[in-house]
Amino acid sequence: MGTDSRNEQAKIAAGVYAASLVEDGQKVGLGSGTSAWHFIRSLAKRIEEGLDIIAVPASKASRDLAQELNVPLVELDDIAGLDICIDGADEVAPDGSMIKGGGANLLWEKIIAVNSAKMLTVVDPSKIVKTLGQFALPIEVTPAYYGTTIRNIRELLTEKGWEAVSVERRMNGDSPVITDNDNYIVDAKLETITDPAGLAIALNQIPGVVENGLFPAMSKGVIVGRPDGTAEFLEIGFDPATAKA
């Protein structure tokens, strides 16, 4: 079995485990990305068996999948928050801090996360890290004057100690990646982020920055799937070396 296939099996296992944690009557945030989509598929099977929940999606793609699978959806504006949100991550650290936005859905994902009583993260072992930063940090920016915004982001990062940092607009071939909000995504290659909360605040002070992909200490638990089809729940404070094994 190749690496991609093994990772896919791990994501499926995490999604199945996560769906088993949803309780009757809950209001559920549906994350975005491949791991979250396996959770949505598993949740739909439970709904077919009688589970009674309502859900809010964290991206247009998640909304489309949920509708296809007959998961009952509501608007977040029409309810008083969510009981639980289950979403993937590009990186997750032991304190529950994450980098998200590899799929360009970070704004919806963060809105869903902060309006949930509990957020849980579904990942394969490759997403577990000791310190955030190896995955390039996604930042959503407005198309208007995006070049100036990129320059200001680069200047901020230089002031904070990152030298010659790469900050580039994400492209899909010859075209810029467009978010569900009709904005651009900028990726900053930082290697190591020791203060995600401080950096998240600083980035959002730059005019033109809509939101960034740092989710400081937001996850309340990590569900890691394994290539053999098993999964386990990791409490915050887990040992990343053991978790990846």
- Catalytic residue numbers, as ranges: 109
CB neighbour burial string for 155-193, b if at least 16 within 10 angstroms, e if fewer? ebbeeeebeebebebbeeeeebbebbeebbbbbbebeeb
What is the residue type of 162?
W
Concatenating the DSSP letter of every residue in 189-211 gives E-S--S-HHHHHHHHHTSTTEEE
225 closest CA partner among 26, 32, 39, 31? 39
On whether the CB atoms of residues 92 and 14 are closer than 8 A, the answer is no
On whether the CB atoms of residues 53 and 66 are closer than 8 A, the answer is no
DSSP 8-state symbol, 24: T
Partnered with residue 54 across adjacent β-strands are 27
Structure tokens at 96: 């529950």
